[in-house]
A and B are shown apart, each in its own frame.
Chain A
Amino acid sequence: MNPGYPNRSISRILKQLMLLMVLMLPAVPTTTQAAVNCELNYPASDVARLFPESDNYKISYFSFARQGGEPLLRKVEARLGSVPALYAPLNVPYTLYEIYKGGKRIGYIHGVNQKGQYGVLEVFVSLDMKGMIKAFYIQRMAGQWVNKFTLPKFGKQFVGLTLRDFELYDPVSGKGSGKVAAMTNPAPLAVTDFYGLQRAVKKNLVLMDEFVYSTQKGKQ
Chain B
Amino acid sequence: MISRFQIASKNLLRKKSRTTLTLIGIMLSSWVLVSLLGFNRGYETALNRDIDNMGYQLMVMAKGCPYEAATMMLQGGAGLRYIEQTMVNSIAARPEVDKVTPILMQAFFDPDKGDGGGIAGYFGIDLATYPGMKPFFRFRQGGWFKNDTAAEAVMGYEAAELEQREVGDMIMVPEKNVPLKVVGILERTGTQDDGTIYVPLKTLQKISAIDKITTIGIKVKKDADITKLENSLYQLPDMQVVSFTQVKQTIMKLISTARMMVLSIAIIALLIAMIGVVNTILMSVMERIQEIGILKTMGAMPIDIFFLVWTETLILCSVGGIAGIGLAIVFARLSDILVRRILPYSPGGELVAIDIRLALLTLAVILGVGLLSGIYPAWKAGRVRPLDSIRSEG
A residues near B, CB below 8 A? 1-2, 5-6, 9-10, 12-14, 16-17, 19-20, 23-24, 26-30, 33, 35-36, 41-42, 85-87, 113-120, 139-144, 146
Cα of A28 to Cα of B116 in the assembled complex, Å: 35
- Stretch from B20-28, B83-91, B97-105 at the A interface: B20-28
B116's nearest neighbour on chain A, judged by CB, is A41
B131 to chain A, nearest CB (A): 24
Complex contact A6–B163 (CB within 8 A): no
Complex contact A119–B165 (CB within 8 A): yes
Number of interface residues of B (CB under 8 A): 46
For B177, list chain A residues within 8 Å (CB).
Answer: 143-144
B234 to chain A, nearest CB (A): 41
For A6, list chain B residues within 8 Å (CB).
Answer: 15, 17-18, 283
Given the contacts A1-B287, A5-B283, A86-B166, A17 and B25 also touching, CB distance less than 8 Å = yes
Given the contacts A27-B341, A86-B164, A20 and B269 also touching, CB distance less than 8 Å = yes
B393 within 8 A of A: no
B residues near A, CB below 8 A? 15, 17-18, 21-22, 24-25, 28-29, 32, 110, 112-116, 161-166, 169-172, 174, 177, 179, 188, 265, 269, 272-273, 276, 279-280, 283, 286-287, 289, 337-339, 341-342
For A5, list chain B residues within 8 Å (CB).
Answer: 283
Complex contact A29–B337 (CB within 8 A): yes
Complex contact B114–A30 (CB within 8 A): no
A78 to chain B, nearest CB (A): 21
Return the 5 tightest CB-CB contacts between A and B, nearest first: A118-B172, A27-B338, A13-B21, A119-B163, A115-B164
Cα of A86 to Cα of B166 in the assembled complex, Å: 8
For B272, list chain A residues within 8 Å (CB).
Answer: 16, 19
A14's nearest neighbour on chain B, judged by CB, is B21
A9, A24, A36, A119: the one contacting B18 at CB < 8 Å is A9
Complex contact B280–A9 (CB within 8 A): yes
B314 to chain A, nearest CB (A): 20
For A120, list chain B residues within 8 Å (CB).
Answer: 162-164
Complex contact A118–B171 (CB within 8 A): yes
For B179, list chain A residues within 8 Å (CB).
Answer: 118
For B169, list chain A residues within 8 Å (CB).
Answer: 115
**Interface pairs (7), CB distance under 8 Å:** A13-B25, A16-B276, A17-B28, A19-B272, A27-B342, A33-B188, A120-B164
A10, A17, A27, A142: the one contacting B112 at CB < 8 Å is A142
B32, B116, B161: the one contacting A20 at CB < 8 Å is B32
A103 to chain B, nearest CB (A): 30
A204 to chain B, nearest CB (A): 16
Complex contact A141–B112 (CB within 8 A): yes
Complex contact B174–A142 (CB within 8 A): yes
A3 to chain B, nearest CB (A): 10
For B113, list chain A residues within 8 Å (CB).
Answer: 140
Cα of A100 to Cα of B67 in the assembled complex, Å: 49
For A85, list chain B residues within 8 Å (CB).
Answer: 164
Cα of A85 to Cα of B32 in the assembled complex, Å: 41
A4 to chain B, nearest CB (A): 11
Given the contacts A85-B164, A87-B164, A30 and B273 also touching, CB distance less than 8 Å = no
Complex contact B342–A10 (CB within 8 A): no
For B171, list chain A residues within 8 Å (CB).
Answer: 118-119, 142
Cα of A119 to Cα of B162 in the assembled complex, Å: 8
Complex contact B269–A10 (CB within 8 A): no
For B112, list chain A residues within 8 Å (CB).
Answer: 139-142, 146
Beyond A9-B283, A146-B112, 13 extra complex contacts between A and B, CB < 8 Å: A2-B286, A6-B15, A6-B283, A12-B276, A27-B341, A28-B338, A41-B114, A41-B115, A42-B115, A118-B170, A119-B172, A120-B163, A142-B171
Complex contact A10–B21 (CB within 8 A): yes
Given the contacts A23-B265, A142-B172, A13 and B164 also touching, CB distance less than 8 Å = no
For B269, list chain A residues within 8 Å (CB).
Answer: 19-20, 23
Cα of A173 to Cα of B272 in the assembled complex, Å: 66
Given the contacts A17-B24, A41-B116, A144-B177, A9 and B279 also touching, CB distance less than 8 Å = yes
For B273, list chain A residues within 8 Å (CB).
Answer: 16
A185 to chain B, nearest CB (A): 18
Cα of A41 to Cα of B115 in the assembled complex, Å: 5
B264 to chain A, nearest CB (A): 11
For A142, list chain B residues within 8 Å (CB).
Answer: 110, 112, 163, 171-172, 174
B110 to chain A, nearest CB (A): 8
Cα of A146 to Cα of B287 in the assembled complex, Å: 82
For A28, list chain B residues within 8 Å (CB).
Answer: 338, 341
A86's nearest neighbour on chain B, judged by CB, is B166
Most buried by B among A10, A29, A35, A86: A86
For B32, list chain A residues within 8 Å (CB).
Answer: 20, 24
A153 to chain B, nearest CB (A): 20
Given the contacts A119-B172, A120-B163, A13 and B114 also touching, CB distance less than 8 Å = no
B18, B110, B287, B337: the one contacting A10 at CB < 8 Å is B18
B266's nearest neighbour on chain A, judged by CB, is A23
B171 to chain A, nearest CB (A): 6
For A140, list chain B residues within 8 Å (CB).
Answer: 112-113
Given the contacts A16-B276, A142-B112, A29 and B338 also touching, CB distance less than 8 Å = yes
Complex contact B338–A24 (CB within 8 A): yes
For B166, list chain A residues within 8 Å (CB).
Answer: 86
Most buried by B among A9, A26, A140, A143: A9
B278 to chain A, nearest CB (A): 11
For A87, list chain B residues within 8 Å (CB).
Answer: 161, 164
Given the contacts A5-B283, A20-B32, A30 and B341 also touching, CB distance less than 8 Å = yes
